[in-house]
Amino acid sequence: MPGDHRRIRGPEESQPQLYAAGEGEAPAPRDPARLRPVYARAGLLSQAKGSAYLEAGGPKVLCAESGPRRAEGGERGGGSVGAGCEAPAALSGRLLCDFRRAPFSGRGRDAPPGGGEERELARALQESLEPVGRLGRYPRAQLEVSALLLGDGGSALAAPLTAAPLALADTGVETYDLVVGCSLSRAPAPAPAWLLEPTLLEEERAAAGLTVALMPVLKQVAGLLGSGEGGPTESWAEAMRLGFEGCQRLYPVLQQCSVQAAHRRGAAAPL
């Protein structure tokens, strides 16, 4: 467990014994476009303005959203690419995203929170959510979305990408559409094929990975993050098409979840 010497006196570096076991396992062959069954529920946390829980096979994520509340800080713009002449921060709302992994979510005990990977994924989450919220309607306001990954079963970024907009919609903030996230991975040679929603085993052995976030009704891509040896551009394009199709297939489940949450809220409100 790197770093946390104040609480626990232990060796500098350690690794779980699972490293040696399971080397010979090969992922079972399966239909490349199969989607895992999804369970989604919005409006489950009493203390958050909006919340959503999503379970998609392996990954389990809990998203909570608080706000809109008064924005802190001055006119400093955010760290977007090429910090330059941005519109003044007061004209539209700000979205702050936080992504955390629970220490027990992965196979080995993870590093304490705040690591580089979490900040990168929080940034990816923010960039995918910004197109969907009508932030212009909430000037000088700040919306905070926090995603907690409770279990990692492959596709760790796709699940929060799907749950966070559900939480946002649950708050009652105006949005253009929902966002659905889908992840893909490319198996290494000799059979390089793109697989939709990889399991943890498939993701570990993958040569490349891609996560797409699509707004299904508007058919616009809200987020895209991919890296690895994906091969030529045609291969990446094929992966994106597979991802978009997967997002469209997932959308009815989330739409239904959102409607059910709205009914529950409506029924609970005092008349």
Partner 1 sequence: MYHSPIKGSREDLRVDGRGCEDYRCVEVETDVVSNTSGSARVKLGHTDILVGVKAEMGTPKLEKPNEGYLEFFVDCSASATPEFEGRGGDDLGTEIANTLYRIFNKSSIDLESLCISPREHCWALYVDVLLLECGGNLFDAISIAVKAALFNTRIPRVRVLEDEEGSKDIELSDDPYDCIQLSVENVPCIVTLCKIGYRHVVDATLQEEACSLASLLVSVTSKGVVTCMRKVGKGSLDPESIFEMLETGKRVGKVLHASLQSILHKEESLGPKRQKVGFLG
Binding residues (CB under 8 A) for partner 1: these are: 13, 15, 19, 76-86, 116-117, 119-120, 123-124, 127, 130-132, 210, 214-215, 218-233, 236-237, 240-241, 244
Q: How far is CA 9 from CA 5, 13, 16, in A?
A: 6, 12, 17
Q: Can you read off the two tokens belonging to residue 44?
A: 């489950």
Q: How far is CA 29 from CA 196, 197, 199, 202, 234, in A?
A: 13, 13, 12, 10, 24
Min dist CB 38 to partner 1, Å, is 22
Min dist CB 171 to partner 1, Å, is 19
Min dist CB 17 to partner 1, Å, is 13
Q: 240 vs 261, which CB is nearer to partner 1? A: 240
Q: Can you read off the two tokens belonging to residue 259?
A: 């409607």
Q: 114 vs 266, which CB is nearer to partner 1? A: 114
Q: 45 vs 106, which CB is nearer to partner 1? A: 106
Min dist CB 53 to partner 1, Å, is 26
Min dist CB 135 to partner 1, Å, is 8
Nearest-angstrom CA–CA distance, 207 and 39: 29
In which element (H, E) is residue 142 found? strand 141-151
Q: 4 vs 120, which CB is nearer to partner 1? A: 120
Q: Which of 121, 72, 78, 131 is nearest to 97 (CA)?
A: 121
Buried b (16+ CB within 10 A) or exposed e, 52-65: bbbbbbbbbbbbbb
Min dist CB 222 to partner 1, Å, is 5
Nearest-angstrom CA–CA distance, 46 and 181: 26
Q: 30 vs 219, which CB is nearer to partner 1? A: 219
Nearest-angstrom CA–CA distance, 105 and 113: 12
Q: 42 vs 240, which CB is nearer to partner 1? A: 240
